[in-house]
Structure 1
Amino acid sequence: MRLAPRRATAWRRPISSLQRHLTSIGIRKEDPARVWERRTPLTPDAVASLLRDNHAQLEVEVEMCGRRCFPDIDYRHAGAKLVPSLSKEVDLVLGIKEPPVHRIQALQEARPGKKRTYMIFSHTHKGQPYNVPLLSSFLDPHHSQTLIDYELLTRPKKGNPNELKRVAAFGWFAGAVGAGEALSMTGLALLRRGVSTPLLGLPRPYTFPSTAAYKAALRRCGDEIRSTVLTPCGTGPIVIGLTGAGNVSNGAKDMLDAMGVVWVTPEQLVDIHRGTKGMQTQIWACQVPPSAYYEKLDGGAYDRADYKAHPEGYRSVFVKKLAPYITTLINGAGWQEGCPRLMSNTDLAALLAQAPEVGHKLVAVQDIACDLEGGLEFMDRITTIDDPFCVGPGGILISSTDILPTELPADASAYFSSRILPYVQHLVAPKLTTGDVAETIERATIVRDGRLRKQHEWLMPSVDKWRSPSPPAPLGAATTSRRKKRVLLLGSGLVAGPAVEVFSARSDIALGIASNNLQEAQALTKRYGGNVETFSLDVADQVELGRAVSAADVVVSLLPAPMHVAVAQHCIAHGKHLVTASYISPEMKALDEEAKQKDVLLLGECGLDPGIDSMAAMRILSRVKRENKRVTSFVSWCGGLPEPAASNVPFGYKFSWSPKAVLTAAGNDARYKLGGKVEEVKGEDLLKRHYPKVDVWKGLALEGLANRDAMPYADKYGLGEVDGLTNLFRGTLRYQGFSRLLESFRQMGLLSPDPLTRMGDSWGDFLLASLARMSEVSGTSLRAGDVESVLRDLLAKEAEGTMEALRWLSMLPNTATPALPSHLTSPIDILAYILSQKLAYSPKERDSCLLHHAFEIVSSSTPSSTSFGSGETTSKQKVTASLLHYGTPGASSMSVTVGKTLAFAALRVVDGDVKGRGVRGPYEREVWEGVLGSLEEAGVEVLEDWS
């Protein structure tokens, strides 16, 4: 829309700091951890309008985001500039939900002193404890940040100038979606009682492109209901109870009207409950005012003015007078501390006890207000769009999702955008706006130029308390403040850099790096700076290790996997959490019960593989479960490889992580299921039984090896019984030729962990000693000239290619090589050493990490015995998840995907977002959802295809 020129208006007072023109607007992408947050503060049409009206002065940046309800290309067509992240020049940052603190700090540090304004739902103005760090990030006069909160954009009500109403809110959409979710949940709740109704077939709101389309579905469902006799469990007709009288309840009422419910008064509920004739072909609804469920403690009637002044003098009689006659409650009424609860835990217990034989009528509760343990005391958790309800007392289904409007994101965004556009326009060009826009912005400003506004100064003590110092508890010898969360990083090797980068970006994190290579650790601090200290630590020194662990909040171990158990034991002893990227070993798993008793989390498998692979799988499987489907096949491939241009070397491989770990993995036993048949492969046969061609990326000549035992993943991922799966396979990707050459090296004895007794002084002597042990000339000394003939006898047609690789690696007799390491005696250690020298990345080369999951899914109603191999017509859906990530000369892809995954998981633990305890993997939503979101923000994105 185009705004009319501003008429001459006298402001009541000058507001100079808001009169400056802002020349650059940035629309941030919502945090990836908020998977379902698809709304946007400004639509492409609104952006086009702003640019038309301010074409000479304004630039709009839009962070690229594949989840947003409006495609990126629409913003480009509107005239915006698409960017991976907002530039330091942005004057005004617009979003929906509050941004992470580190994103605000990053913009501040990119251009110190830059005046910048944020318009968001900050959730800070009520003193919310969980967002005190966010509020604090704005309170620095040196950075001159201004915070405007949408929730405080208010203007006087018509006819009552002393009362303010919000001008920009999503309440109607929360009510509309909440009602729709309540109806779908009612269908499921009644099914659990043994009754099927047309509500069971009503799709959830997020499956529709618009509000109009969803209303049409509600009308169709209502028509079907009116042609059906509903007899839910003998408890009478279906009755929906709706509380609240504002926008939320209006949105809910509009959706119920679309279905065609019959509205009754609270006084009629008893008659509806007792009636039978004609009652069972309708859904009844009752909008319940506070006067129907609140009364004075002395039994007097509800009085609105008196209640607002003295809420402590009232009690709720909802359970006594209304709840016994309601099938589903949609709560749209807010609650404040000191007010009586709509239903307390005691009230609910009384309701459940009223009809122990026939069962209570209430089967579902949709709490749109989402006041934890508030008006509905038993509502003690926030549900999600993925898992929309939990089972409460008496089997009642309870839903309390706090981002309901994003289920209809396009319509909700269009409405919201139209409401805030005049205020954005005022910040850009005050002369083009009229009326009381400036005063509205004034009321909504919490922080201006790094200082709290006068009406919000009462928040400062909470910020000061959060910032206040506490007694020192050194990691090495440093002191920190109370607000610093202490992370101990054990190790400073190949993947440490990206992990340190993540931790050091958080000003509330104090990171200590403990390493036996202090120079290497100090190089990390020089590169990343921040709140990082280093100290020397030999992890074999159990006293010093215990001391370091005791001073941390969370320990992150980059040590070799066998060392994790000793670290975990110290963590349990000192009550500290541990995060690693390694597979959970049987020895680690044995610590599960002890860790739980000490309230300690030992979180493993938070790297790439294992790690991102499991997290990506769990995200898909959560949707499979939500859509009432099941998996019949799961095949997964993962690998770290050089970019194609760097792969023209023996094995087609270069090392961005431990060479010995790569060589050892090629000898692991494997078990999997393909084509309905379970296969077991011994480690010595793994390379011979490789898959010579794996077509998962066009243009890449890949092969694969089975990766360990895939069978436990049926349980880990919740895939169901192995017998019900056609395929269950996990594999490792390599370039073609890797397995044949490494198998030749294995036959030569070069992968043996057993020490060589006589090895000589050169690489040629080492090769001859290993060949002598493996060949049939045992007891006879081999000479340099015997190598080729022995290889031909041992390797047959593979001998020539192997000789070429040995020559390239300078391992043949009489070739120049680095000095033979005298401290190593086993062939696998010595081979790992030479490969780390010869197959290292050059400064300009890049590595890559590849991940590919392939699922086949069917409806849960499809019998498990169905065969899909011979003309079966049952519909299968193929779903994939893919990651192809390239490193940079400064940070390998392997280090990024492992190090950052590990760090993001540790941050979720240290922030208290992971509630589980004991030995755990990344299989719970509280781990994988947030970590995948943070990785996406860091440029590591797993793409899904549900076509």
Structure 2
Amino acid sequence: MKRFLISKRQFSTGNSTSCASRRPPFVLGILRETYNKWERRAPLCPSHIEQLLSKYTPEKLKCIIQPSNRRIFSDVEYERAGATVSDDVTSANLLLGVKQVNSDNLLPNKAYAFFSHVIKGQPENMPMLQTILDRNICLFDYECMVDPAPSGRHRRLVTFGKYAGIAGMIDIFQAVGQKLLQNGFSTPFLNSPMCYMYHDLEEAKNGVKQMGRRIAEEGLPPGLEPLVFAFTGKGNVTRGALEIFHLLPHEMITLRQLKELKKQNGGGGCPQHKVYGLIVEQEHMVKLRGSDDDDDSIAAHGANVAHYRSSPFQYEPTFHKMVAPYVNVLVNGIYWDGRYPRLLEKHHVQELFEEDKKSLIAIADVSCDVNGSIEFLEQTTTIENPFFTYNPALNKSIEGVAEDGIAIMGVDILPTELPRESSKHFGDALIPLIDDFLVYCNENDICSLKCAENLPRKLRNACVTTSAGDLTKRFNYIDNLKKQCLREKDLEKIDGSAMFLSLEGHLFDSGLINQVLDVLESHNCIFEIKECCIGCKTNGTPAKSTMLIKVYTSEGHGMLQTICSKIKALAELISSSETTVRSHEESQNFKVKKPPILSDEIASSVKSDKEDIILLLGSGRVAASFAEYMGRKEKRKIIVAGEVNEEVQAVASEAKRGEVVVLNVEHDMPALASLIAKADIVVSLLPAHMHILVAEECIKTKTNLVTASYVSDAMKSLNQRCLESGITILNEVGLDPGMDHMSAMRIIDEIHTNGGEVTSFSSVCGGLPAPEFANNPLLYKFSWSPRGVLNASGNDAIYRKDSSTLHIPGDKLLLEAKPFEGVWSTLNLECLPNRNALAYEDLYGLSYPDELFRGTLRYRGFSNVMNSLNQLGLLEDAKASQSNWTGVIRDLLDERGFSSLQNFISSYSAGDVANAERQSLLFHELGLIDHSTLTHPESIVNSLCDLLTEKYSLASDERDMVLMHTKIVGKYDDELVETYSSSLQLFGDEHMTAMCKTVGYTTAIAAELVLDGKVEAKGVIIPTSSDIYVPTLNALEAEGIKFVETKMTVEQYAA
């Protein structure tokens, strides 16, 4: 009440003429949460808004909240509490959120408070922090709003308390039910819903009580051993879990009682009408290194809590021996960082399973430290897919709980499953800090804060950045972390040694931490902040801060010792820091490995939230669909680099977070190298000859590359260097090549898997105008560069027919067009052989099939008309004899012995009147018989391309069509013959051409697979393996790009 009266007096509405009374109202804004679809919490509830607005007059405080249909409290509730609901929060002085704010939504010159996750230099959040600095935003981090407890340890003031433990406990019941069912026991746990399925905590507790009544009245199935839940930790998380557990009929027992219980009832017997709980004490988890392994010795040497916390490296784990063999469910709530022994390591549970000690069926890792105290929690899980199974025998993680092994839950946003209660708890703790903000703002403008030292103590500790675009003094060290902090990309390149460095002292006020990081940087170390707790003043006396740093070097043990000695000397030199430095070198050299991927579906759902930077080179017609697909996720930045600013801008606008770089790749290699070095993956949609320049830089920077083009000989030559660099260059992931590989390999692999061999293979593809727009003499329109089409019309071709190999020289290719019938009956098509089909024999793993053909589809008549241009010499890359088309055509006719164009057409059409009319019309429409000037006198074919682009491009109001058909015959030992047919017909729409969709989307999906680590192969590769073609075809189908597949089976009988 005293605070209330002071606040009223300071914000008086009387006749005072002080500066404070003339200030406009302080506007408090509440942001819409966008971090995760499940994030339904709010920093303040409607009741908190009502409480604040009743405390301060409207002249002194206003509240604005962004509307949200996802938030647990409705907009109407906030309006009733007195808040204004509006998307526009630009008038707010202080903006409150829960989780990180999307960089695009950060308003300049404002103050924000939310969980930013930047104080350890987390790389995924550094782009957001840079935006905050660039936009002169004053950031307060809830995580740093602390008060020192009497013990000297830091107590966080605003948390979501016990609700992670409550939600985690409720959720793990479902996993327990499924695992017990798998083992042959139907129990009430199977009917327990996930926590988020309840309306509120009261309903959830009633649900647990109802389950408990069934256990008490009906009992658990006979034959089921006593069910034991073990709990680690003493904090809010564990207290929340126990609050739920205690709603069941239960008995809490000691470890000694547990062992006796299991000894007497290990094989089951009479139905159990209760469950058992065990609080795991520290002496059950660790022991001093070198002490005896018997239980009494372990307990005797594990009880000194103070010694353990100060010297954790002197201890080793014992939980796997003392507790794990006897419990069924583990609820883990302990604090852990790299200094401490793990609770359970992979080899621990592997040994238990080898000894047939398989009591442990489920783990709720509520602490959710990835690769932390539970080593095999290698990725967080999500609310919609909360469980996976770790199989110790296979050392493999598998989605769901249906497989053998231990069910694991590692959801990292559990409190949002109880959004109503957790928001209330959080807001109750935040309200006093809002008062501190208002007291400060009575005399100051929070949005113009240049120095944090004058803030109230609790706010000063939490102020990360100022409106001057600077980090505050205690957070200056983050600037070093932004440059040098460990990144996944760097980790993959290290093979060396590591140590943990523990610092405790006045690290920030003394400036020691910045000098420590400078030492690490000067020795070319990579490091990551594992833990950071910043001390705050009490009664004017600064409290000590602590930091745990993991340091990596490729220069071995000696370098680590040198670094540690320098840092200890530095701490002694800066005596005012009063810093204790401890180090512990990892026991063996390391090489970082990627954790195993659970499955395609769960891997994508548990992917880290770090920002991915995708460099897209090229802004042609298919680039837009790539940017649109790849740029759908907020955590991806698509950097589009190209020569023409307007085109680059248009492509970048398709992504949620597109960035524009105007660049000539061939003439600005330093700029290209800089872009590639920053990227997580590079995608080149440039002309094919330019891919090599890009690939060379990717090899230097160890950055993966994806292209849609054919693998050239020059690209093949880079394979060994790619392998040595450890990168993937994935090519041929467009339409053709690309989707043709994938559709074919899906069938070929099925035939081979079933024991058959391919005796006939045919694959044809074509990009065409839709029939209603094939309205010119070529019956063709260009949706990208005509040069590619003209070049393809003169390529040599090789294929096999009736076991004979046929070679078609490029200058005769257009004469080889044959009618294509039997697939699309309404279309009048022809087919041309396409390149060297025999090359696919090895690529597809075929054994000399009788038929091996690849072809290009066109409307019937295309080849005849195109060949007239070829025969006249218009497809040659030769210098023009004249500067205008009339002169060029006249000279070309003279060279071939024709007196006029009409004579040439008559001779070439050989009496086919319709063909002659189409040829004549083509020359007239293209303007080849007038006096127009050639655009490229040095190249006839390039000048022709400009005419084709001008006259025969697909207009914006016209649609195109993509056709692809694959026919494969498989034969089996039992004389069974199967004929597979796979067809695709796709039309463009008003938003995007079919060619753009099929090339851009396919390239984007393939790039996403590489980016997410789902493509294991290194070197120069194409998409012929199932880890690429299966997820890509599935993703394309989700975009409406689907093959229609049929199979006809014929049994052949010997005569």
Q: TM-score, normalised by structure 2?
A: 0.53
- Taking the TM superposition and a 5 Å limit, the aligned residue runs for 1:211-360 are 211-223=201-213, 225=215, 230=220, 236-274=225-263, 275=265, 276-278=268-270, 280-290=272-282, 292-294=284-286, 299-300=300-301, 302-305=303-306, 307-309=308-310, 311=312, 316-343=317-344, 345=345, 349=347, 352-353=350-351, 356=354, 358-360=356-358
Contact 1:499 1:902 (C-alpha < 8 Å) held by counterparts: yes
Q: Deviation at 1:603?
A: 4.9
Equivalence for 1:169: 159
Distance of aligned partners of 1:917 and 1:415 in 2 relative to their CA distance in 1, 3 Å threshold: farther
Equivalence for 2:973: none
Equivalence for 1:836: 949
AA aligned to 1:253 is L
1:362 to 360, 367, 372: 360
Q: Deviation at 1:361?
A: 1.4
Equivalence for 2:460: 442
Contact 1:908 1:927 (C-alpha < 8 Å) held by counterparts: no
Equivalence for 1:92: 94
SS of residue matched to 1:270: helix
Distance 1:407 1:784 in 2: 80
CA offsets 1:120-149 (integer angstroms, 9 cap, x no match): 212233455665565565557xx5432211
AA aligned to 1:82 is D
Mean alpha-carbon deviation: is it higher for 370-379 or for 809-818?
A: 809-818
SS of residue matched to 2:363: strand
Contact 1:51 1:79 (C-alpha < 8 Å) held by counterparts: no
Distance of aligned partners of 1:783 and 1:497 in 2 relative to their CA distance in 1, 3 Å threshold: closer
Query: Does residue 144 of structure 2 align to residue 152 of structure 1?
Result: yes
SS of residue matched to 1:365: strand
Query: Does residue 666 of structure 2 align to residue 536 of structure 1?
Result: yes
1:404 to 406, 410, 414: 414
Distance of aligned partners of 1:301 and 1:757 in 2 relative to their CA distance in 1, 3 Å threshold: closer
Equivalence for 1:582: 708
Distance of aligned partners of 1:310 and 1:893 in 2 relative to their CA distance in 1, 3 Å threshold: same
Q: Deviation at 1:218?
A: 3.9
Q: Deviation at 1:546?
A: 12
Equivalence for 2:684: 557
Contact 2:286 2:317 (C-alpha < 8 Å) held by counterparts: yes
Distance of aligned partners of 1:60 and 1:184 in 2 relative to their CA distance in 1, 3 Å threshold: same
2:116 to 110, 122, 125: 122
Distance of aligned partners of 1:509 and 1:791 in 2 relative to their CA distance in 1, 3 Å threshold: same
Distance of aligned partners of 1:273 and 1:781 in 2 relative to their CA distance in 1, 3 Å threshold: farther
Q: Deviation at 1:352?
A: 4.5
Distance of aligned partners of 1:230 and 1:118 in 2 relative to their CA distance in 1, 3 Å threshold: same
Contact 1:491 1:559 (C-alpha < 8 Å) held by counterparts: yes
Distance of aligned partners of 1:458 and 1:514 in 2 relative to their CA distance in 1, 3 Å threshold: closer
SS of residue matched to 1:366: strand
2:85 to 59, 80, 84: 80
- Taking the TM superposition and a 5 Å limit, the aligned residue runs for 1:584-733 are 595=722, 598-603=725-730, 657-658=784-785
Equivalence for 2:173: 183
AA aligned to 1:559 is L
Distance 1:653 1:409 in 2: 59
Distance 2:1029 2:52 in 1: 40
Equivalence for 1:389: 388
Contact 1:605 1:922 (C-alpha < 8 Å) held by counterparts: no
SS of residue matched to 1:122: coil
SS of residue matched to 1:151: helix
Contact 1:30 1:37 (C-alpha < 8 Å) held by counterparts: yes
Distance 2:998 2:434 in 1: 39
Query: Does residue 140 of structure 2 align to residue 25 of structure 1?
Result: no
Distance 1:663 1:76 in 2: 66
CA offsets 1:664-696 (integer angstroms, 9 cap, x no match): 999xxxxxxxxxxxxxxx998889966999xxx
Distance 2:1030 2:704 in 1: 17
Distance 2:731 2:57 in 1: 53
Distance 1:753 1:440 in 2: 83
SS of residue matched to 2:176: helix
The structure with the larger Rg is 2
SS of residue matched to 1:237: coil
CA offsets 1:290-326 (integer angstroms, 9 cap, x no match): 3554556663462445554555565543233221111
Contact 1:263 1:285 (C-alpha < 8 Å) held by counterparts: yes
Gaps of 5+ in 2: 12-19, 292-299, 394-404, 444-453, 486-516, 524-610, 653-657, 740-765, 794-815, 828-833, 835-856, 876-883, 893-900, 963-987, 1032-1037, 1041-1055
Q: Deviation at 1:341?
A: 3.5
Distance 1:237 1:137 in 2: 55
Contact 2:230 2:327 (C-alpha < 8 Å) held by counterparts: yes
1:60 to 58, 61, 64: 64
Contact 1:607 1:897 (C-alpha < 8 Å) held by counterparts: yes
Distance 2:147 2:1024 in 1: 47
AA aligned to 2:173 is L
Q: Deviation at 1:649?
A: 9.8
Distance 1:831 1:68 in 2: 60
Q: TM-score, normalised by structure 1?
A: 0.58
AA aligned to 1:123 is H
Q: How many residues end up aligned between the 2 structures?
A: 747
AA aligned to 1:147 is L
Q: Deviation at 1:440?
A: 3.2
SS of residue matched to 1:580: strand
Distance 1:179 1:665 in 2: 64
Distance of aligned partners of 1:137 and 1:886 in 2 relative to their CA distance in 1, 3 Å threshold: same
AA aligned to 1:403 is I
Q: Deviation at 1:334?
A: 0.8
AA aligned to 1:81 is S
- Taking the TM superposition and a 5 Å limit, the aligned residue runs for 1:398-437 are 398-409=408-419, 411-413=421-423, 415-417=425-427, 419-421=429-431, 423-424=433-434, 427=437
AA aligned to 1:388 is F
Q: Deviation at 1:193?
A: 4.9
Gaps of 5+ in 1: 109-113, 472-483, 613-638, 667-681, 694-707, 709-738, 770-778, 852-882, 930-940
Percentage of matched positions with identical amino acids: 26
SS of residue matched to 2:870: coil
Distance 2:865 2:694 in 1: 35
Equivalence for 1:633: none
Q: Deviation at 1:534?
A: 4.3
AA aligned to 1:184 is Q
Q: Deviation at 1:335?
A: 1.6
Contact 1:549 1:574 (C-alpha < 8 Å) held by counterparts: no
Equivalence for 2:870: 755
RMSD: 7.2
Distance 2:189 2:865 in 1: 67
Distance 1:318 1:373 in 2: 17
